[in-house]
């Protein structure tokens, strides 16, 4: 089915400079202490120039919308699980849902490319079935999960979530999935486990971004404190907009942690590890001052190079105030009172 792509207003006003722009190969090598390791030639992503048109189909000179194919859900085998029952506890209030052909064509998934509006095209045919997830570390029984475990074991539900990238763009998405807590309970971490770490896919052959940005510390990885991971809001996402997740959103499974900046929601997970020490994470390892471990949405704490007080909705192009914990203070605030964050 073809959808009309209307180039959204943000295409001429990039809300903030991308995460990648400030990281040269030399800086990454220095930050990670890689010293003399031979790395691929640098190919820094440049932010879109002011006034340059965006959108996969482009924009005609007259500003007329062009038609582009919609993105495909990556896992087709479990199509009968969708759409899932909507959980009414998670609604959006004032903000409208972001149209799918906006959110599914404006992605951060550096394994493919640092160019947000090109991810969907590069990702759409990436194979995700079969898929294995290795479970290791401080857990009763290390094991390997497959798609039957992920799609078959836990009742799926749909939740409307806000989403806020550290770069200041924001959206509202209907995710389908199940509470991360349900998966953690099933995996039975030991009582000594304090953190859970997620590792994304590693495939230098199949992932152009891992080849071109060879100096990044691949694979992408993220981590949560175990109480955060068990919070009601932390979701294992296997679908969006009523169907299985398309690859650009992180098929076959990713995390949604909507009270944190977007990079705390890793995509296309292949490994889950329980640890008693706080793990390093992809962005935190490279630039700790800019990308803290907790990275909760806290508008009063500016990023070192830009304010976090406001954000831009990628669907409407409107600027609005950012909210403490991205609007989820009632659900997550108590986890941080009197604790490190
Ligand atoms: N594996 C992986 N996960 C990732 C990223 C990435 O580059 N690789 N980008 C993160 C960032 S910075 C954001 S904002 C969100 C974007 O999610 P979306 O493209 O589905 O909107 O994914 C996060 N998860
Ligand atoms: Mo992000």
Q: Is the CB of 111 under 6 A from ligand 1?
A: yes
What is the pLDDT, as a whole number, of residue 33?
55
Which residue is closest in CA terms to ligand 1's atom 21?
107
Q: What CATH number should be reported for the domain holding residue 293?
A: 3.90.420.10
Query: Quick one: how far is CA 140 from the chain centroid?
Result: 28
- How far is ligand 2, taken at its centre, from the CA of residue 108, in Å? 6
Average pLDDT, the chain: 85
Sequence-distant (6+) residues with CB within 8 A of 8 are 55, 102, 106, 314, 315, 316, 317
Is residue 9 included in any domain, yes or no? no
Between 13-27, 165-179, 240-254, the lowest mean confidence (pLDDT) is in: 13-27
Identify any residues that bridge with 73 across adjacent strands, giving them in sequence order: 246
Is residue 83 included in any domain, yes or no? yes
Q: Percent of the chain at pLDDT above 90?
A: 77
What is the pLDDT, as a whole number, of residue 28?
62
Is residue 14 included in any domain, yes or no? no
Is residue 20 included in any domain, yes or no? no
Is residue 233 included in any domain, yes or no? yes
Compare 49 and 103 and report the one with higher pLDDT: 103
pTM of the entire structure? 0.85
Is residue 87 included in any domain, yes or no? yes
Condensed to tens digits (0 to 9), the pLDDT of residues 162-175 reads 999 999 999 999 99
d(CA 229, CA 179) in angstroms, rounded, equals 9
- How far is ligand 2, taken at its centre, from the CA of residue 233, in Å? 18
36 pLDDT exceeds 50?
A: no
What is the pLDDT, as a whole number, of residue 203?
98
Average pLDDT over residues 130-151: 98
Confidence of residue 338 (pLDDT cuts 50, 70, 90): confident
How many residues in the chain?
Answer: 341
Query: Sign of the CA dihedral 164, 165, 168, 173?
Result: negative
What is the pLDDT, as a whole number, of residue 13?
38
Confidence of residue 65 (pLDDT cuts 50, 70, 90): very low
Confidence of residue 67 (pLDDT cuts 50, 70, 90): very low
Identify the domain containing residue 163 by its residue range. Answer: 25-51+64-334
Is residue 205 included in any domain, yes or no? yes
- How far is ligand 1, taken at its centre, from the CA of residue 250, in Å? 8
Is residue 16 included in any domain, yes or no? no
Query: If you compute the radius of gyration of the chain from its CA atoms, what whole number of angstroms results?
Result: 19
Condensed to tens digits (0 to 9), the pLDDT of residues 174-192 reads 999 999 999 999 999 999 9
Compare 77 and 93 and report the one with higher pLDDT: 77
Q: Is the CB of 109 under 6 A from ligand 1?
A: yes
- How far is ligand 2, taken at its centre, from the CA of residue 180, in Å? 21
Q: Closest ligand to 163 CA?
A: 1
Number of domains observed in the structure of the chain = 1
Residue 233: both structure tokens together: 């809001």
113 three-state secondary structure: strand
Alpha helices of the chain — where are they, by DSSP H? 25-32, 100-103, 119-123, 147-152, 180-187, 208-212, 226-229, 282-286, 329-332
Asked whether 244 and 238 are in contact (CB, 8 A), the reply is: yes
Confidence of residue 302 (pLDDT cuts 50, 70, 90): very high
Which of 97, 103, 108, 246 gets mutated to test ligand 1 (max ligand atoms within 8 A of its CB)?
108
253 pLDDT exceeds 60?
A: yes
């Amino acid at each position: 089915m073809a959808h009309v792509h209307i180039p959204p207003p943000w295409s001429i006003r990039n809300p903030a400079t991308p995460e990648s722009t400030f990281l040269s190969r030399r800086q990454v090598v220095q930050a990670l202490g890689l010293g003399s390791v031979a790395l691929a030639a640098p190919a820094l992503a440049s932010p879109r120039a002011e006034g340059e048109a965006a959108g996969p189909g482009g924009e005609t000179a007259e500003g007329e919308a062009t038609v582009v194919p919609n993105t495909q859900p990556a896992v087709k085998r479990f199509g009968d699980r969708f759409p899932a029952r909507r959980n009414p506890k998670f609604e959006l209030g004032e903000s409208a849902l972001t149209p799918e052909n906006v959110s599914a064509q404006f992605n951060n998934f550096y394994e493919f490319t640092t160019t947000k509006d090109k991810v969907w095209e590069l990702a759409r045919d990436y194979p995700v079935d079969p898929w294995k997830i290795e479970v290791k570390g401080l857990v009763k029984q290390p094991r390997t999960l497959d798609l039957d475990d992920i799609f078959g074991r836990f009742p799926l539900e749909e939740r409307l979530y806000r989403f806020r990238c550290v770069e200041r763009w924001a959206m509202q998405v209907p995710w389908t999935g199940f509470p991360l807590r349900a998966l953690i309970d099933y995996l039975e971490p030991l009582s000594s486990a304090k953190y859970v770490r997620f590792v994304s896919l590693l495939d230098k052959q199949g992932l152009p971004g891992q080849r071109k940005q060879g100096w990044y510390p691949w694979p992408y990885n993220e981590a949560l404190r175990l109480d955060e991971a068990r919070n009601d809001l932390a979701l294992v996402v296997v679908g969006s907009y009523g169907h299985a997740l398309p690859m650009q959103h992180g098929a076959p499974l990713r995390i949604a942690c909507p009270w944190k900046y977007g990079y705390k929601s890793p995509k296309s997970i292949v490994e889950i590890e329980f640890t008693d020490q706080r793990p390093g994470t992809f962005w935190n390892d490279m630039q700790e001052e800019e990308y803290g471990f907790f990275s909760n949405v806290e508008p009063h704490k500016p990023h070192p190079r830009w304010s976090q007080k406001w954000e831009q909705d990628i669907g409407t192009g409107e600027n609005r105030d950012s909210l403490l914990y991205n609007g989820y203070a009632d659900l997550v605030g108590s986890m941080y009172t009197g604790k490190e964050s």
